[in-house]
Amino acid sequence: MKHNFLQLILLLFSFTLLPFSKAQNIEVHIGNETKAYKKERIISVHHADDGIIVLKEQLKLLGKGRQFLEIFDEDMNFVSRNELELPDKDLEFSLMRYLNGNIYLFMEKQDSRNRINTAYGTIITRDAKFESEIYELVQFEYERRKRINSFDISISADSTSFLIETTPPQIDKEQMASRHFLIIDQDFKEVDNITIDFPFKERDFGINRTHLDAKGNLHMLTSVAIEESKRNTIFRTAVETEARVFTLYKGESDVQEYIINFLNDDAGFISQIQMKTDDLGRLQCAGFYSDTKGNSTRGVFVFTIDPETKEISNVNSQEFTDEYLEQFLTDRQVRKKNRKQGRDSKNNRFERLYYYKVRDIVMKKGGGFYMVAEYYLHTVTTTTNANGTVTYTNRYYYNDLMVISVLEDNSVDWYSKVAKKQYSINDDGIYSGIVTGINDDNSLNIIYNDNNETSNILVGDNIKALKLKKSKVVLVKFEEDGTASKTPLFGDKKSKVYLVPSASPKGKQNNLVLYSKGKKKNRFTNVILR
């Protein structure tokens, strides 16, 4: 009898290991917890072939902070920690990038007298040593009222070069928008030097994302202020914008704007857009459209840009059904929507959704992709006490998810909802948000922090806001046909570290690194999707 009871216990234990090791084709490797230093934050995390490379900064009340380079092995366990000491006291750390086995460090130096900022680049070792030449890359002016202007560095689609973007100082309100781009190879040699003038005023224009494809073509997702919204900005914190797509093809001098001809008559404005390159080198673009200006969505659109033909193809747009929209509304909002239906749809605010941000486009093998969007809202309120002291309160809302499956021909296959509620105050929302990945069978994975009591509930009413101390990291899995499931991934009562989605490095869609943070401990976890 005892022997049979022991066999039963072993059998039950084996089934507890089954869901992630076999049924869901997933491996989870949790590293050891390491000490979290006071006033220290992660600046950059990079996934190497043999582990991860982490750059941290210890903040100081006065003066510059101290940077430390940490190395972790492929099991996510700590290997080394070395302080990064810049060779010149006037140099300041700017960015770190990891490319083809090398750690690239970018720095800057300000000349306050002449208002000139100079960017530098070099390669450092894994013990934070400077054993390579330091190269001067680009100089640009900065404004008096700002210490420096925009300065960003991205990696080309084929991982062979860097794209450095700088912005000229804004001198007056009527100044036209302009951007400077420098392309350098992995040896810091100049490949191309580009200045682009845009037909918009600087104050009305912004570049949200740049993409340098394998052929050297520069694609830009931009936002342009909507003229009508600028006339009523007294009580608004920001002007409403519309998304635009521009491309500068290699060897050409004129930038090309892509005009999307929607199939829907009411698809007048692009409110959100993202892009990624597919296996054929084409740019797949997707986002939300609306029939009214501003941050709203009434449906989804998809199109393809082919760098060979320089043409847009497979344009598709699809309005969300009432059934789908109502999944995101309360019962009271549904009743209001139905009462106003048929009268004036543009004045019926419940005919569309608001504050949804496209978080990622996850490419499928063989064509097609998933688009994942999240409800995101950041509000700031001020209170003044009797002594005149002003207190600012930042509130962060990361709520429901929209998941949309797009087929190879850009037609929308299905869309779904994931109920989620993450709310926090004055913490930059670091424990909120998601991490996405994909299995070999094209099943989509979404990872985030959730309450213990809802760690198995995919869609439900009255979802409670996240409470970190009573939370787990969960995995929501969508099969290619839209079938969904939700299961706890890791987390227990003894552990007091919590997933920080924004600090988890992107790039490898089937080999994820997750960073978890607590008051006294840090930890990394490797999730392999097969």
User: Which residues, 6 or more positions from 380, have their beta carbon under 8 angstroms from its beta carbon?
Assistant: 237, 392, 393, 394, 395
The answer to which of 6-15, 119-128, 426-435, 487-496 has the lowest mean pLDDT is: 6-15
Helices assigned H by DSSP within 66-200: none
Give me the phi and psi of 177, to 5 degrees please: -70, 140
The answer to which of 225-239, 307-321, 358-372, 420-434 has the lowest mean pLDDT is: 225-239
pLDDT of residue 3 exceeding 60: no
- Closest C-alpha among 171, 193, 179, 175 to residue 250: 193
More confident residue, 191 or 22: 191
For 492-516, what is the mean pLDDT?
86
pLDDT at 346: 64
The answer to which of 4-13, 134-143, 501-510 has the lowest mean pLDDT is: 4-13
Mean pLDDT (the chain, rounded): 86
pLDDT of residue 17 exceeding 80: no
pLDDT at 482: 96
pLDDT at 162: 96
The answer to which of 194-203, 233-242, 442-451 has the lowest mean pLDDT is: 233-242
pLDDT band at 448 (very low <50, low <70, confident <90, very high): very high
CB 483 within 8 A of CB 495: no
pLDDT of residue 458 exceeding 70: yes
Paired residues of 28 in beta bridges: 527
Instruction: Return the top range by mean pLDDT from 167-176, 265-274, 450-459.
Output: 450-459
pLDDT at 272: 83
pTM of the complete model beyond 0.95: no
pLDDT at 233: 43
pLDDT of residue 451 exceeding 90: yes
For 153-159, what is the mean pLDDT?
91
For 407-423, what is the mean pLDDT?
95
For 396-418, what is the mean pLDDT?
96
Q: How many CA atoms lie within 13 A of 289 on its CB side?
A: 24
- Whole-angstrom Cα distance, residue 330 to residue 247? 41
- Whole-angstrom Cα distance, residue 514 to residue 503? 8
- Closest C-alpha among 514, 447, 521, 519 to residue 486: 447
Strands laid side by side in the 78-84 sheet: 40-48, 51-58, 66-73, 78-84
Model pLDDT for residues 326-350, shown as the tens digit of each residue: 899 888 888 888 887 766 666 778 8
- Closest C-alpha among 316, 323, 317, 401 to residue 362: 401
- Whole-angstrom Cα distance, residue 495 to residue 497? 6
pLDDT of residue 16 exceeding 50: no
- Whole-angstrom Cα distance, residue 336 to residue 211? 42
- Whole-angstrom Cα distance, residue 466 to residue 453? 10
For 82-86, what is the mean pLDDT?
95
pLDDT band at 278 (very low <50, low <70, confident <90, very high): confident
pLDDT at 20: 45
User: Which residues, 6 or more positions from 506, have their beta carbon under 8 angstroms from its beta carbon?
Assistant: none
The answer to which of 73-87, 197-211, 450-464, 512-526 has the lowest mean pLDDT is: 450-464
For 339, the 3-state DSSP assignment is helix
pLDDT band at 193 (very low <50, low <70, confident <90, very high): very high
Model pLDDT for residues 112-141, shown as the tens digit of each residue: 888 888 999 999 999 999 989 999 999 988
pLDDT of residue 268 exceeding 80: no
